[in-house]
């Protein structure tokens, strides 16, 4: 595991100095002119919500000075009432925040089978889907649900009611083992309990699987679940509660980009990558389930109109019911010189072969300012690429640290998380440093700087999803740039590009 005695998070380290394949952040910051005033760059975090009450985020969260908080008036005339700190597009028919949504792949499969079995025509978006690939993915989902049911049955087996033997509900299987005779546990039940303890299974583990089963059938796999208002406006809907209580994911992403350095009871927590350079605009469009294309498109447009120069999108899916709407929003972002950073996904898939949304959709203009990011870990060897990361020589632009990334959590503390969801904001953070210090560079130029300044390992790596190492593959076969984002080299390249542009 990563050595936490090191004062820096591992992903800030420089591979040239200590063999840890981080982004060389201190070396990058040392190259910047500390006397040069910089204006913070607005970075929109399209995600699950951001707890901007977190001590480390209070100084970096966007404030819309044109809006008076809580007066129920659209003071700035942008169509969103009281959007002092971003916006939330996830609202149900009663005005409450939505927390869950369907898996659109499951909905698409259900609709396809229903229409074809009744010889009814398919909508255009459904005709364009590789339905057999979606069917395979759906089968994988149901296999996971079956596994969750296995553990749920065990939970039900040992979910004993309160008795005088416990001060409260048992919180550890060892407690039940200790009282097994009084509880009448014997035979096969005793052997099962013994096996669970030996495998270090906890009540918390079992409760997690129970929750997965419940959410699967109530929300994710329920084709009839849709809490949205039937008369919802096409664009101006939602509420200003972007600091949602389900915003663990978004809070972590925001912290990677722009958290400030603060003291905790045990340590000083390192700041976000672009601390002092970034202003975070929370835009809530991601539920527990698949985000809708309407929310994503409106979230992008809201971010652009709020002045974002970078949009981080740490989400994705394999079915898009309205890709043209999202493409139009991405086109709008490109026309307004906004860099969009997107997570490549966590299924160990080659997304050259599987469409993963949102994407540039073949548009050269969108592609020029759209970055798709895969994830790497701290091992500088053949296991450099995170085992879960999607990849693609054409569809993934570069990689960035995305394993055990330390950042802010929605409970006001800190947590380590894995995912391309963490790798994308690493890139967004580096981009924010560049845009703040080199404002004359356009979004396409920032992308080019990031692509041309990656660190390229000189060894083959294990391809995610492969069972054995074998000969491996060079990173140039797994992404366009062939490497990992490097802040130091990016600053040097940006400096050189600015100097070149200033020449007569």
Domain layout of the chain by residue ranges: 11-96+240-502, 104-220
pLDDT digits (tens, 9 = 90+) for 351-377: 999 899 999 999 999 999 999 999 999
Residues 6+ apart with CB under 8 A from 365: 331, 334, 335
User: Which residues, in sequence order, are bridge partners of residue 407?
Assistant: 415
Helix (H, G, I), strand (E, B) or coil at 43: strand
Cα–Cα distance for residue pair 141/472, rounded to 1 Å: 29
CA-based nearest residue to 306, from 63, 40, 48:
63
Q: Is 250 helix (H, G, I), strand (E, B) or coil?
A: helix
Structure confidence at residue 159 (pLDDT): 66
Token pair of 78, please? 């942008």
Residue with tokens 């959410």: 215
Phi–psi pair at 67, nearest 5 degrees: -120, 135
| HEC string for 273-291 | CCCCCEEEEEEECCCECCC
Contact, 32 vs 269, CB < 8 A?
A: no
CA neighbor of 322 nearest in space, from 126, 138, 133, 105:
126
Planar angle of CA 47, 52, 53, nearest 5 degrees? 145
- Distance, in Å, from the CA atom of 419 to the CA atom of 388, rounded to the nearest integer, reads 8
DSSP string for residues in 333-387:
HHHTT-EEEEE--SS--BTTTS--BS--TT-HHHHTTEEEEEEE-S--STT-B-T
pLDDT at position 226: 93
Residues of the chain falling short of pLDDT 50: 1-6
Does domain 11-96+240-502 bear CATH number 3.40.50.200? yes
Structure tokens at 354: 């599987």
Torsion angles phi and psi, residue 357, rounded to 5: -105, 155
Report pLDDT for 4.
Answer: 38
Tell me whether residue 199 is exposed, middle or buried, using C-beta atoms within 10 angstroms of its C-beta: 0 to 12, 13 to 18, 19 or more: exposed
Q: In this predicted structure, what is the pLDDT of residue 267?
A: 61
Pair of tokens at residue 34: 């500390």
Please give the angle made by the CA atoms of 285, 205 and 182, to the nearest 5 degrees: 145
Of 476, 314, 291, give the one whose Cα is nearest residue 396.
476
pLDDT value of residue 384? 97
Report which of 422, 381, 415 is spatially closest to residue 401, judged by C-alpha positions.
422
3-state secondary structure of 49: coil
Q: Per the confidence metrics, is the pTM higher than 0.75?
A: yes
Tokens of 167: 């001060």
Q: What is the pLDDT of residues 440-498, one digit of tens each?
A: 999 999 999 999 999 999 999 999 988 665 678 999 999 999 999 999 999 999 999 99
Q: Determine the Cα angle at 483 with ends 477 and 489, to 5°.
A: 155
CB 190, CB 180: distance < 8 Å: yes
| Six-digit token string for 313 | 């999108």
């Amino acid at each position: 595991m990563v050595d936490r005695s090191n004062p820096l998070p591992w992903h800030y380290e420089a591979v040239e100095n200590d063999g840890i394949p981080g982004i060389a952040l201190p070396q990058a910051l040392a190259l910047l002119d500390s006397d040069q005033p910089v204006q913070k760059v607005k970075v929109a975090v399209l995600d699950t919500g951001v707890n901007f009450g977190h001590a480390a985020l209070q100084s970096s969260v966007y404030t819309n000075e044109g809006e008076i908080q809580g007066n129920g008036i659209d003071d700035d005339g942008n169509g969103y009432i009281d959007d002092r700190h971003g916006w939330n597009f996830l609202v149900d028919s009663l005005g409450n925040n939505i927390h869950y949504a369907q898996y659109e792949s499951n909905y698409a499969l259900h609709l396809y089978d229903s229409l074809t079995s009744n010889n009814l025509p398919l909508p255009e978006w459904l005709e364009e889907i590789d339905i057999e690939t979606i069917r395979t993915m759906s089968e994988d989902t149901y296999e996971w649900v079956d596994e969750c049911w296995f553990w749920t049955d065990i939970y039900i087996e040992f979910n004993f009611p309160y008795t005088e033997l416990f001060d409260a509900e048992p919180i550890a299987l060892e407690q039940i083992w200790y009282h097994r005779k009084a509880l009448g546990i014997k035979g096969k039940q005793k052997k099962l309990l013994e096996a669970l303890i030996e495998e270090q299974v906890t009540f918390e583990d079992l409760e997690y699987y129970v929750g997965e089963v419940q959410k699967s059938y109530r929300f994710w796999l329920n084709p009839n679940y849709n809490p949205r208002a039937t008369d919802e406006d096409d664009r101006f809907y939602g509420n200003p509660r972007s600091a949602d209580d389900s915003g663990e994911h978004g809070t972590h992403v925001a912290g990677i980009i722009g958290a400030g350095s603060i003291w905790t009871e045990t340590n000083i927590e390192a700041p976000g990558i672009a601390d002092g350079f970034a202003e975070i605009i929370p835009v809530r469009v991601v539920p527990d389930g698949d985000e809708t294309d309407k929310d994503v498109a409106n979230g992008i447009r809201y971010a652009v109109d709020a002045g974002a120069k970078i949009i981080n999108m740490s989400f994705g899916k394999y079915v898009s019911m309205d890709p043209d709407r999202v493409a139009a929003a991405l086109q709008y972002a490109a026309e307004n010189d906004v860099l969009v950073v997107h997570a490549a996904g966590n299924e160990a898939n080659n997304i050259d072969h599987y469409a993963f949304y949102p994407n540039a959709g073949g548009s050269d203009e969108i592609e020029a300012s759209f970055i798709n990011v895969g994830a790497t870990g701290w091992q500088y060897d053949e296991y450099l690429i995170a085992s879960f990361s999607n990849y693609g020589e054409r569809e993934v632009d570069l990689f960035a640290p995305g394993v055990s990334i330390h950042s802010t959590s929605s409970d006001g503390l800190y947590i380590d998380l894995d995912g391309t969801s963490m790798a994308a904001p690493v890139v967004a953070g580096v981009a924010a440093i560049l845009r703040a210090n080199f404002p004359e560079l356009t979004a396409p130029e920032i992308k080019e700087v990031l692509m041309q300044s990656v660190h390229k390992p000189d060894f083959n790596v294990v391809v995610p999803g492969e069972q054995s190492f074998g000969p491996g593959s060079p990173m140039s076969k797994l992404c366009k740039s062939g490497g990992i984002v490097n802040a130091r080299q990016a600053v040097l390249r940006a400096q050189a590009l600015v100097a070149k542009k200033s020449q007569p």
